[in-house]
Amino acid sequence: MRSPLAEPLDSVPPSVGDLLRYLWSRRVRLLVLFGLLSGLGGVALLGWWLFGPRSAHAVIALGFSGIERHEYPSGKSFAIEDIRSPRVLSRALEDVGLAAGSYDLQEVYRGIDLVPIVPSSVVERWKKQDRDGAKHEQFLPSEFALDVHPRGLDDTERVRLIYALLKAYQEQVKYEQVAELHRVANFSTGPAAQLTTLYDYWDLPILLRLQSDSLAAHLAALIRESQNFRDPTLNLSFLEVSRELDAWRVIRLETLAAVVHRERLVKDRDAMLRRLEERQANLEIELRRINGQVESTTKLLEVVEQPKPFLAGQMAPRDGAPLLDVTTLEKVMKSDYVGPVVRRASELHEAAATAAAAKERVQREIALLTKAGDAGTGRPRAGFEDLVVLVADDIDRIVRHYLQVLDAYLDASVTRYVTLREGPYLRLASTSMALVAVAIVFTAAILSLLIVIVSDSLRGGARGAEDEGHALRPT
């Protein structure tokens, strides 16, 4: 006889409707358990919020020239660790108000995390390249997630440390910009009143002109990029400083040069001639070098301007098939290649013209010194030293104006080059509170369901064992 406890072989598995009816019949228990577990999770989350380790979070964005190549404006290589380098970190801690002996620099360093931010579009392209078996495209990030959580600092100090790190790193970027600009210093060869003693009279216009040429080159570059920036203290722009320099050249420098050349003011004529001839030879070498570069650049441009079949032949692989459409190839060449080459050619032509003008000026000075029968006395008249002091003081004043406007410009621009794109704000152990709350709710729901199912299974198993015992008991 078949046992009543045996499972039928053709038993039907439970359906979704059975599951829903099962959950609905136990809804009270599920809600009670869910509320209890969620409450416990909320209490734990509150305790974590009050007593758990928190970090100050922010996103730093870099926008200075060269960051797309991971280089500073000076050409120095950029590294992510520069943002929390010992020099920057020490300066930031001093700004926060921590004395040098009150903290462990290594401990603070380990409590600062920097993570490059890669846009989702780049990540998707990388995934596609992985599927295709292609090499990842190069991406150099310019935004970095910064988490500050060193032990020994409270929440306020951690937020302040982010601002201090930003300020200290901005100063570092400003220093790199100054290195790239080759900041022009004041006339460092001696006081203006001693110039006639330190140098030959004939050297003075040459040295002052070299200084003014260097300053003019930097001003020209800054005028193009500063967009009429004006220093609020002096109420001057780089363009106005350049105009001051041009007026000084026409009025002061030319006056001094005229006096020196007219009266042949030279202490050692032979030594001066040797120096001028050496400078002429150096300028000839420089001019040949620049002209060689101009010729190479011109040949490169001629290659780009060749007919389309020639371009396709030059860019084709070994089997003879062009890499891409000839029209597309020509557009790529002219947009990505011709523009920089043309700019470089223009710069070289300008440099060649400057070197040729300097060479011609040296030749005229050599002719003046070697003019027969008009050697001059070599001794200046009264008032010459006062003229030298006046000319040198004027160029020093213009240089000071330039330095002050440059400082103001770098201070104003560096805040655009190193910025906080997000934050700072506090978060727990680099985790969002919203994500933790969602995780608590999800976990409470799963645990409630598991507890009900397990308890019903245990209760059903106990009833089954009891029924089996009753069935086996003799009647």
Q: Give the tens place of pLDDT for each residue, 352-411.
A: 888 888 888 888 888 888 874 455 556 788 888 889 989 989 998 998 899 888 888 888
Same-domain pairing of 221 and 165: no
For residue 333, is it within any domain? yes
Min mean pLDDT across 55-59, 266-270, 300-304, 312-316 is at 312-316
Of the residues 395, 424, 458, the one at which a domain ends: 395
Is the predicted pLDDT of residue 276 greater than 70, yes or no? yes
pLDDT of residue 20: 76
Is the predicted pLDDT of residue 11 greater than 70, yes or no? no
Helices (H), 305-432: 308-314, 326-333, 339-369, 384-417
pLDDT classification of 307: cutoffs 50, 70, 90: very low
Chain segment 187-245, per-residue pLDDT in tens: 455 567 778 888 888 889 988 998 888 888 888 888 887 777 888 888 888 999 999 99
Phi/psi of residue 473, nearest 5 degrees:
-70, 130
Domain that holds residue 286: 192-229+253-395
Min mean pLDDT across 25-29, 63-67, 126-130, 461-465 is at 461-465
Is the predicted pLDDT of residue 4 greater than 50, yes or no? no
Is the predicted pLDDT of residue 465 greater than 70, yes or no? no
For residue 70, is it within any domain? yes
- Gap between the Cα atoms of 24 and 391, Å rounded: 98
Contact 165, 172 (CB under 8 A): no
Chain segment 132-165, per-residue pLDDT in tens: 888 878 888 899 998 888 887 888 888 898 999 9
Number of neighbours of residue 328 by Cβ within 10 angstroms: 11
- Residue 56: its H or E element: strand 54-62
Of the residues 360, 395, 430, the one at which a domain ends: 395
Same-domain pairing of 353 and 204: yes
Q: Which amino acid is at 383?
A: G
Same-domain pairing of 177 and 197: no
pLDDT of residue 321: 43
Q: Which amino acid is at 445?
A: A
Is the predicted pLDDT of residue 475 greater than 80, yes or no? no
Q: What percent of the chain has pLDDT over 70?
A: 77
What is the mean pLDDT of the segment spanning 38-58?
Answer: 76
What is the mean pLDDT of the segment spanning 179-193?
Answer: 58
Q: What percent of the chain has pLDDT over 90?
A: 7
Write down the residue that tokens 């040797």 correspond to.
274
Same-domain pairing of 160 and 304: no
- Whether the full predicted model's pTM is greater than 0.75, yes or no, is no
Is the predicted pLDDT of residue 433 greater than 80, yes or no? no
Min mean pLDDT across 263-272, 292-301, 309-318 is at 309-318
Of the residues 375, 395, 415, the one at which a domain ends: 395
Is the predicted pLDDT of residue 88 greater than 70, yes or no? yes
Contact 232, 210 (CB under 8 A): no
pLDDT of residue 247: 94
For residue 135, is it within any domain? yes
Same-domain pairing of 351 and 321: yes
Tell me the pLDDT of the chain averaged across its residues: 78
For residue 138, is it within any domain? yes
Is the predicted pLDDT of residue 473 greater than 90, yes or no? no
Same-domain pairing of 268 and 331: yes
For residue 421, is it within any domain? no
Q: How many domains in the chain?
A: 2
For residue 73, is it within any domain? yes
For residue 378, is it within any domain? yes
pLDDT of residue 464: 61
Same-domain pairing of 171 and 207: no
Same-domain pairing of 173 and 200: no
* DSSP secondary structure of 79-113: -GGGGG-HHHHHHHHHHHT--GGGS-HHHHHHTEE
pLDDT of residue 377: 54
Cβ neighbours of residue 300 closer than 8 Å, sequence gap 6 or more: 341
Helix axes 27-51, 433-472, angle to 10 degrees: 140
Number of neighbours of residue 122 by Cβ within 10 angstroms: 13
pLDDT classification of 309: cutoffs 50, 70, 90: very low
Which span out of 74-78, 332-336, 382-386 was modeled with the highest average pLDDT? Answer: 382-386
For 66-74, the CB contacts below 8 A with 24+ separation are: 67/140, 67/142, 68/140, 68/142, 69/140, 70/140, 72/173, 72/176, 72/177, 72/180, 73/176, 73/177, 73/179, 73/180, 74/176, 74/177, 74/179, 74/180
**Cα–Cα nearest to 84, from 141, 168, 177, 156:** 168
Same-domain pairing of 222 and 286: yes
344 or 184, higher pLDDT: 344
What is the mean pLDDT of the segment spanning 418-430?
Answer: 78
HEC sequence for 199-231: CCCCHHHHHHHHHHHHHHHHHHHHHHHHCCCEE
How many CA atoms lie within 13 Å of 22's alpha carbon, on the beta-carbon side? 11
What is the sign of the dihedral through the CA atoms of 410, 416, 421 and 425?
positive
Which span out of 159-168, 300-309, 310-319, 418-427 was modeled with the highest average pLDDT? Answer: 159-168
Same-domain pairing of 353 and 258: yes
Same-domain pairing of 60 and 201: no
Same-domain pairing of 109 and 218: no
